[in-house]
Structure 1
Amino acid sequence: MAIKLKSERLCIEPFTKNDACRIKELANDKELADILGLPYPYELKFAQDWIDIQPELIRQGVEYPLGIISKESGEIVGTITLRIDKVNNRGELGYWIGQDYWGKGFATEAVTRMINFGFIELGLNRIWASAISRNKSSIRVLEKSGLRKEGTLRQNRLLLDTYEDVDVYGLLKTEYNVITRK
């Protein structure tokens, strides 16, 4: 399946080997690493290894790791992934945006487009995501994209020697159909 998703300001598409340097540049950020649990410093090899496994994941339909590219600049500004649980016909969203691009609405636009891809093109029944409870920006993205808070997993993630609460958000296809008809 050739994937090239478009929204008003973004192209969302598979990474190429040439994107590894850009991913390293964006991911090599202490604040981002602290929120996501990424290794820091983030080495080029991490990006290369990650990009190398992606075509097979996409081919199998088990994961769609895609680059978020600004149409205006042509640069990758972040990444978004939809991990598929075929048995339960659901997808888990994960995403991050490079710090220079925070607060510009790119994450909300990418998440909204990926939700559409999951429900309409993949036929999923449910899409869910989680965010560290203190990551208020990510929680706003999920809420603006139509996901509803389903609960908090207390001390669910160990980050920097601290147990973090994780908020879980979800959206059903029936709810999405109502939202898109408005």
Structure 2
Amino acid sequence: MRATDTLHRQATLYTDRLTLRPLTLADAADVQRMAGERDIADMTRIPHPYEDGVAEEWIRSTHAEFEKEEGATFAITLREEGNLIGVIGLGSKDAQGAAELGYWVGKPYWNRGYCTEAARAVLAYGFQELCLNRIYAYHFKRNPASGRVMQKIGMQHEGDYPKEARKCGIFEDLVLYGILKSDFGTI
């Protein structure tokens, strides 16, 4: 992973196949189209239906969160073509130096390793640039593909949380994974 960064501006991260860059309002239509797909919403905390204007509002909120040091959200784009294929980010750092990783990738880009590649880069950014001590992530138990991403980037299973999250009026089981900075360099 290579990063470019300037003071008070969110970094852009580069991997072999991807560019992870700050979201812009020009991304709103792609975010709305992909995040609005039922298959994406069903496996994430994204609301469905994804109403007009929500993407723009959400993108603005990611900029505000970064300015307040409450998170760093990246557009996942194909390095060659520049197409937005998903979103990945870290939530705000808590008092113990931990932050939550979250991500989604558009359905046409599933099963190609893009999410794993992006997640590795964001973990490196979190540990090296944001000085995090621990990064954790949750997935719905019925979404084992997300758990496989977490395993591939070196996260360890930390627990199961029955009926912890409510999605579309139904309580869902969550699975927690995490990784410490001291363990990240060993994978």
Q: Per the shorter chain, which TM-score range?
A: over 0.9
Q: Which of 23, 40, 44 lines up with 1:36 in the alignment?
A: 44
Quote the Cα distance in structure 1 between the aligned partners of 2:50 and 2:34.
9
Q: State the partner residue of 1:16.
A: 24
8 Å CA contact 2:71–2:93 kept in 1: the answer is: no
Q: State the partner residue of 1:74.
A: 82
Instruction: Using structure 2 for the length normalisation, give the TM-score.
Output: 0.91
Quote the Cα distance in structure 1 between the aligned partners of 2:165 and 2:95.
25
Quote the Cα distance in structure 2 between the aligned partners of 1:51 and 1:123.
25
* SS of residue in 2 equivalent to 1:44: coil
Instruction: Using structure 1 for the length normalisation, give the TM-score.
Output: 0.94
* SS of residue in 1 equivalent to 2:111: coil
8 Å CA contact 1:147–1:169 kept in 2: the answer is: yes
Please report the RMSD computed on the Cα atoms of aligned residues, expressed in angstroms: 1.2
* SS of residue in 2 equivalent to 1:36: coil
8 Å CA contact 1:62–1:86 kept in 2: the answer is: no
Q: State the partner residue of 2:62.
A: 54
Quote the Cα distance in structure 2 between the aligned partners of 1:121 and 1:65.
14
Q: State the partner residue of 1:92.
A: 100
8 Å CA contact 1:68–1:79 kept in 2: the answer is: yes
* SS of residue in 1 equivalent to 2:75: strand
Shift, 1:34, TM fit: 1.4
* SS of residue in 2 equivalent to 1:73: coil
Against the structure 1 CA distance between its residues 158 and 107, is the aligned structure 2 distance closer, same or farther, given a 3 Å change threshold?
same
The residue type equivalent to 1:120 in the other structure is Q
Does residue 108 (structure 1) correspond to residue 116 (structure 2)? The answer is yes
Q: Which of 142, 146, 162 lines up with 1:154 in the alignment?
A: 162
Higher helix share: 1
The residue type equivalent to 2:13 in the other structure is L
* SS of residue in 2 equivalent to 1:4: strand
Shift, 1:86, TM fit: 3.8
Q: What runs of 5+ residues in structure 2 fail to find an aligned partner? A: 1-7
The residue type equivalent to 1:142 in the other structure is M
Quote the Cα distance in structure 1 between the aligned partners of 2:146 and 2:51.
25
Quote the Cα distance in structure 1 between the aligned partners of 2:170 and 2:135.
28
Quote the Cα distance in structure 2 between the aligned partners of 1:159 and 1:52.
24
Q: What runs of 5+ residues in structure 1 fail to find an aligned partner? A: none
